[in-house]
């Protein structure tokens, strides 16, 4: 007897066919949704990167502007200190002489700055301190005490030349104002040659023999007593120079930094003592007699 097996099997296959259509249809919508989400995520990422780049560019612009702002603030501070010094000295000598005096200080400091840059030592802006002069700081250290001496003596050399110009003009015009300015400039540069730190002369003396610092301390004390130089500046100088002078006297300095040949020391000694002698002669030549009231 034959069994009608194939007939029900066809019915089963026929009933399963719509399921395949239904199943294949149900996966179309999720696939499209995933593609849409991927494009949306990519777009959001691109927008985020764009915003990040824009912010980074904005920060860079701010930093560049900040750099120029810092440079401008330093120039402004230097200019204000210049004007403050002129105002301070004008209280004693009048505006004209105060302006010339501060300009002589500026030329002196400019000599230091030029040699710093020439020797590859970064220099700050000149900052003026009313009653104490001015300063330019070295943003680093020279290679040797010889370079430090060159930088130090450049200020008095250039300052002496500016004072000499005042002297020649005052002599040619017989103008006591410019002769007095020359005398003051000569004295200013000669005072800076005292062999005590941190004056220019102390740095130059370090290239000749650091033990000169001890002699400089004695000399400045003697001059202060003899010429009545009772000034807070001298007390500050003494306090700053004593430790280095003691270290030099005891031989506790860096031998590599202070190592020079005899010829180098001799050349620096000629510059140092020769300039000091010329400045002293300039003071004598430019000295303007001050009349004393009540004497005839």
Q: Are residues 122 and 213 both part of a single domain?
A: yes
Q: How confident is the model over 131-140, as a mean pLDDT?
A: 76
Whether the CA torsion 95, 100, 101, 107 is positive or negative: it is positive
pLDDT digits (tens, 9 = 90+) for 58-109: 444 444 455 444 556 677 777 788 888 889 888 988 888 999 999 999 999 9
In a domain, 293, yes or no: no
What string of DSSP letters covers 238-252?
A: HHHHHHHHHHHHTT-
Q: Are residues 276 and 191 both part of a single domain?
A: yes
CA distance to 50, 63, 68, 69, 123, per residue, from 55 (Å): 9, 12, 20, 20, 35
pLDDT digits (tens, 9 = 90+) for 270-288: 999 999 999 999 999 988 7
Q: In 174-261, which ranges are continuous DSSP H helix?
A: 176-191, 200-208, 212-226, 232-249
Q: Are residues 24 and 144 both part of a single domain?
A: no
Mean pLDDT across the chain, nearest whole number?
Answer: 76
In a domain, 138, yes or no: yes
For 135, phi and psi rounded to 5 degrees? -155, 150
Residue 118 has pLDDT above 50, yes or no: yes
Q: What is the pLDDT of residue 36?
A: 52
In a domain, 57, yes or no: yes
Q: Are residues 44 and 132 both part of a single domain?
A: no
Q: What count of Cα atoms within 13 Å lies in the side-chain half-sphere of residue 172?
A: 6
d(CA 132, CA 240) in angstroms, rounded, equals: 15
Residue 128 has pLDDT above 50, yes or no: yes
Residue 123 has pLDDT above 50, yes or no: yes
Contacts of 233 (CB under 8 A, 6+ apart): 131, 132
Q: Are residues 32 and 135 both part of a single domain?
A: no
Q: What is the pLDDT of residue 71?
A: 56
Q: Are residues 49 and 116 both part of a single domain?
A: no
Please provide the size of the chain in residues.
296
Q: Are residues 197 and 142 both part of a single domain?
A: yes
pLDDT digits (tens, 9 = 90+) for 201-222: 999 998 998 888 888 888 888 8
In a domain, 296, yes or no: no
Q: Are residues 192 and 135 both part of a single domain?
A: yes
Q: Are residues 35 and 101 both part of a single domain?
A: no
For 18, phi and psi rounded to 5 degrees? -65, -25
**pTM here?**
0.70
Q: What is the pLDDT of residue 57?
A: 44
Q: Are residues 14 and 120 both part of a single domain?
A: no
Question: How many domains is the chain built from?
Answer: 2
Which residue range(s) make up the domain with 134?
94-286
Q: What is the pLDDT of residue 82?
A: 81
Q: What is the pLDDT of residue 38?
A: 54
Looking at 9-23, 103-117, 225-239, which range is the least confident one?
Answer: 9-23
In a domain, 81, yes or no: no
Q: Are residues 116 and 66 both part of a single domain?
A: no
d(CA 108, CA 126) in angstroms, rounded, equals: 10
In a domain, 2, yes or no: no
Q: Are residues 19 and 151 both part of a single domain?
A: no
Contact yes or no for 279/251 (Cβ under 8 A): no
Q: What is the pLDDT of residue 292?
A: 38
In a domain, 3, yes or no: no
In a domain, 1, yes or no: no
Residue 262 has pLDDT above 70, yes or no: yes
Q: Show the tokens assigned to 242.
A: 């004593």
């Amino acid at each position: 007897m034959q069994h009608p097996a194939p007939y029900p099997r066809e019915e089963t296959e026929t009933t399963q066919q719509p399921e395949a259509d239904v199943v294949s249809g149900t996966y179309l919508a999720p696939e499209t949704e995933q593609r849409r989400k991927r494009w949306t995520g990519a777009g959001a990422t691109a927008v985020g990167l764009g915003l990040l780049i824009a912010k980074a560019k904005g920060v860079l612009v701010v930093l560049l502007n900040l750099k120029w702002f810092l440079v401008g603030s330093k120039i402004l501070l230097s200019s204000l200190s210049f004007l403050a010094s002129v105002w301070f000295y004008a209280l004693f000598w009048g505006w004209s002489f105060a302006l010339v005096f501060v300009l002589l200080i500026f030329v002196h400091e400019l000599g230091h700055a030029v040699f710093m840059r020439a020797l590859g030592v970064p220099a700050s802006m000149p900052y003026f301190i009313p009653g104490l002069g001015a300063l330019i700081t070295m943003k680093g250290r020279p290679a040797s005490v010889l370079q430090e001496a060159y930088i130090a003596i450049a200020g008095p050399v250039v300052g002496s030349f500016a004072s000499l110009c005042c002297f020649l003009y005052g002599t040619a015009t017989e103008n006591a104002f410019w002769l007095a300015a020359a005398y003051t400039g000569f004295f200013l540069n000669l005072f800076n040659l005292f062999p005590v730190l941190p004056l220019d002369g102390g740095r130059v003396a370090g290239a000749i023999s650091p033990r000169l610092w001890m002699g400089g301390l004695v000399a400045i004390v003697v001059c202060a007593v003899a010429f009545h130089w009772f000034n807070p500046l001298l007390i500050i100088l003494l306090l700053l120079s004593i430790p280095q002078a003691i270290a030099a006297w005891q031989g506790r300095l860096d031998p590599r930094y202070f190592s020079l040949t005899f010829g180098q020391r001799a050349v620096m000694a000629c510059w140092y003592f020769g300039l000091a002698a010329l400045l002293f002669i300039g003071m004598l030549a430019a000295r303007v007699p001050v009349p004393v009231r009540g004497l005839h």
